[in-house]
Amino acid sequence: MTFEPKILGFLCNWCSYAGADLAGVSRIQYPPNMRVIRVMCSGRVDPVFIFKALLTGIDGVFVLGCHPGDCHYLEGNYEAEKKFIMVQKFLKIVDFDKRIRLDWVSASEGARFAQVVTEFIESIREQGPSPLSGENIDQELFNNLKAMENSVSSDRIRALVGRQRRITEVENEYGEKVPIDEYNAIFDGAIHDEFVRQRILLSLSTKVLSVKDLAAELKLDPSEILENMLTLKSRGDIDYQSIDGNTPLYMRI
């Protein structure tokens, strides 16, 4: 049987959902692979939603909003973009970022809606089924994505992305953006660290492990593991459980 991608779309009410309706009214045809969740604004799409969707085994997630400057709520689509880019950065770590896409479709772009949806479906078709779909899922990938979900759910990452626009953008009349390169460097570091920490927490939630064990399990350098574990310990998330010979074992609190 050929692979039919299972796609979830988040559409904002005012532009992209209207554009999707217009595609219908104009009888423009596109493949029937996407299911739509209507939100009032693309800015409503919590990063957690995207991870949850991928964790259920959905093959691709599409977020569609108003074109920059067209947002019914002034600038919700910019907020959506910031969050989306963050999710992308996380997924890039495990080479899963091509399974999500953000685009803009206006209420007059019925044909464009059909086009971008078709393109996304085809892109997912080429990538094949999600390793998280079906009976035998890739458990390591699942754990990684779960750690990412926990990361985007954490106050540290949420505060960083929530403040991003204020930090990096000079607001002007037409909402033009300025490059965010400098900010990105700090942000990339924070994303990586938080991911590692959440991954450690996830591993320690089921068993007691040493730094070496964790390094092996997570395929990371022990010094990086240790550094992040110190942070977790200072946050009060983990503690020593026992000492096995000279090796301390850790547990999640």
Partner 1 sequence: MKNLGENSKSVVIIGAGIAGIQAALDLGDMGIQVHLVEKQSCIGGRMAQLDKTFPTLDCSICILAPKLSECYRHDNITLHTLSEIQKIGGSVGNFSVDVLKHARYVKEGVCTNCGDCGAICPVRGITNFFDANLVTQAAAQIAFPAAVPAAYRIDPNKCLYLNYEICGLCYQNCGADAIDFTQKDSILSLDNIGAIIVATGLDLAEDIHTLNIYGYQKYDNVITAMELERLICASGPQAGHLSRLTDGKHPKKIAYLQCIDSRSQKGQMYCSSVCCMYTTKEAMIAFEHDNELESYVFYIDMRAGGKGFQKFLQRGAKEYNIKYLKSKISHIDVDKDDNPIITYEDYETSEIKQLTVDLVVLATCIIPSRGINKLADVLGIDLDHYDYVKTNPFLPVETSAEGIYTCGCAREPMDIPRSVAEASGAAARAAEVIKGG
Partner 2 sequence: MSDKEEEPRIGVFVCSCGSNIGGLIDVKALAEYSKTLPNVVFTEDNLYTCSETGLAQIKNGIKDHNLNRVIVASCTPRTHEPLFRDCVKKEGVNEYLFNFVNIRDQNTWCHQKYPQEAFEKAKDLIRMGVAKAAKLEALDNIIVDATPTALVIGGGVSGMTAALSLANQGFETHLVERENELGGRLKTLHKLFPNDQKAQLLLDNLKKNVGSKENLKIHTSAQVKNIEGFVGNFEVSVEENGNNINLTIGVILVAVGTSLFTPTGYFGYDGKIRITQHELESKLNNNDVKAKDIVMIQCVGSRNDERVYCSSVCCMTALKNALVLKENNPKSNVSILFRDLYTPGTHYEDYYRRAREEGVVFIEYSPEKEPSVEENQIKVYNQYLGEELLIPYDLCVLSTPLVSNNDNKALAQMIKVPLEENGFFLEAHVKLRPMDFATAGVFICGSAKWPVDITESISQGYAAAARASTIISHDTIEVEGATSFLPDYNKSLCTGCEVCIKVCPYNAISKNEEDEIVITQVLCKGCGVCGATCTNHAIIIRHFTDQQILSEIYAYGGKEV
Chain positions contacting partner 1, by CB under 8 A: 14-15, 18, 21-22, 25-27, 66-67, 69-70, 72, 106-112, 173-174
CA 180 to chain centroid, in Å, comes to 19
* Shortest CB 15 distance to partner 1, Å: 5
Q: Which pairs with CB-CB distance under 8 Å and at least 24 residues apart come from 166-175?
A: 174/69, 175/68, 175/69, 175/75, 175/78
The site partner of 79 among partner 2, partner 1, none (C-beta below 5 to 8 Å per kind) is partner 2
Q: Is 21 in the site for partner 2 (CB under 8 A)?
A: yes
Q: Is 53 in the site for partner 2 (CB under 8 A)?
A: yes
Q: In angstroms, what CA-CA distances link 201 with 106, 157, 224?
A: 42, 16, 14
* Shortest CB 23 distance to partner 1, Å: 10
Q: Which residues of 7-17 are buried (b: 16+ CB within 10 A; e: fewer)?
A: bbbbbbebbbb
Sites for partner 2 among residues 58-117 (CB under 8 A): 58, 72-76, 79, 83, 114
172 in Cβ contact with 211 (< 8 Å): no
Q: Which residues bind partner 2 (CB under 8 A)?
A: 4, 6, 8, 13, 17-18, 20-21, 23-25, 27-32, 35-41, 43-49, 52-53, 55-58, 72-76, 79, 83, 114, 146, 153, 155, 158-159, 161-163, 165-166, 171-173
